[in-house]
């Protein structure tokens, strides 16, 4: 399976803790966070990554090159900031295989089981399946309301104890092919593409996953990352 990793953000909230690196390259347990992230999905069967990069992209391309731990790596490089959706739309041009592909936020760790996600996605003929977790934080993450079969009924402000978007998606190209967005223009996955899909009658589903979730986008969560990931094996390329 192929995966697109959205790793092009400026990381302004983390700049005080990691001033000179793109956010996914922030060190955790002696390794860039992005190494931990790729290893997690390689273990689950991802064989090719397309890294959507922008801010200080050379720090990522120079570190990973064309392969990492047996998985091929390609790059979609933003000439100017395109947002999470714009980076995704740029990266899908590099997909090689038909069928569903994985989309990952480059600054979040979520232990979503790929096998269960694929089975759920296929059974519901979904065009996009979101992995969900129970957030205890009010308003920090996008909340969702689901129907009985797991269909997403609405996007809403996150509530404590409610389901929230975990930043791991299975996506069909059909979801992205007929949107109103312009080529190489700033687009948000969360604020533009997901609402368009939901209101446009696309098959949008969500699956609650019980694995651990971590967002390194703010310094207090980044400080916890080493406890969660620092002792994991697999140092180096």
d(CA 93, CA 11): 25
* Of the candidates 138, 85, 112, the residue with the CA atom closest to the CA atom of residue 206: 112
Residue 235 lies in a domain: no
Integer Cα distance of 73 and 210 in angstroms: 29
Is 192 part of a structural domain of the chain? Answer: yes
Q: What is the pLDDT along the chain (237 residues), one digit of tens a residue?
A: 999 999 986 656 565 666 678 889 988 988 999 999 999 999 999 999 999 998 889 999 999 999 999 999 999 998 888 899 999 999 999 999 888 999 999 999 999 999 999 999 999 999 999 999 988 775 678 888 899 999 999 987 666 668 999 999 999 998 988 788 877 778 999 999 999 999 999 999 999 999 999 988 877 788 888 888 864 444 344
Query: Quick check: is 237 in a domain?
Result: no
State which residues form the domain around 152.
2-229
State how far the Cα of 80 lies from the Cα of 194, in Å rounded to an integer.
Answer: 22
- Is residue 234 a part of any domain in this protein? no
Q: Is 236 a member of any domain?
A: no
Phi, psi of 119 (to 5 degrees): -65, -45
Give the count of domains, the chain. Answer: 1
pTM listed for this prediction = 0.91
- Which has the closest alpha carbon to 142: 123, 120, 159? 159
Residue 104 lies in a domain: yes
Say which CATH number the domain at 127 has. Answer: 3.90.550.10
């Amino acid at each position: 399976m192929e995966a697109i990793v959205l790793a092009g953000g400026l990381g302004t909230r983390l700049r005080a803790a990691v001033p000179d690196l793109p956010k996914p390259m922030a060190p955790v347990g002696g390794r860039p966070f992005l190494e931990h992230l790729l290893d997690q999905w390689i273990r689950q069967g991802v064989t090719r990554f397309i890294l959507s990069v922008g801010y200080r992209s050379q720090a990522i391309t120079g570190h990973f090159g064309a392969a990492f731990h047996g998985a091929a790596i390609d790059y979609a490089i933003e000439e100017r900031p395109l947002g999470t959706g714009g980076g995704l739309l740029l990266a899908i041009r590099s997909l090689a295989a038909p069928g569903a592909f994985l989309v990952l936020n480059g600054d979040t760790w979520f232990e979503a089981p790929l096998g269960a996600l694929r089975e759920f996605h296929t059974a519901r003929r979904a065009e996009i399946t979101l992995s969900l977790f129970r957030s205890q934080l009010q308003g920090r993450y996008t909340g969702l309301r689901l129907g009985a079969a797991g269909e997403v009924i609405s996007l809403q402000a996150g509530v404590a104890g409610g389901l929230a978007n975990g930043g791991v998606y299975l996506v069909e190209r059909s979801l992205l092919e007929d949107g109103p967005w312009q080529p190489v223009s700033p687009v948000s996955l969360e604020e533009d593409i997901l609402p368009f899909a939901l209101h446009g009658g696309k098959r949008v589903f969500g699956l609650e996953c019980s694995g651990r979730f971590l967002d390194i986008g703010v310094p207090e969560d980044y400080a916890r990352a080493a406890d969660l990931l620092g002792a994991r094996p697999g140092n180096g390329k």
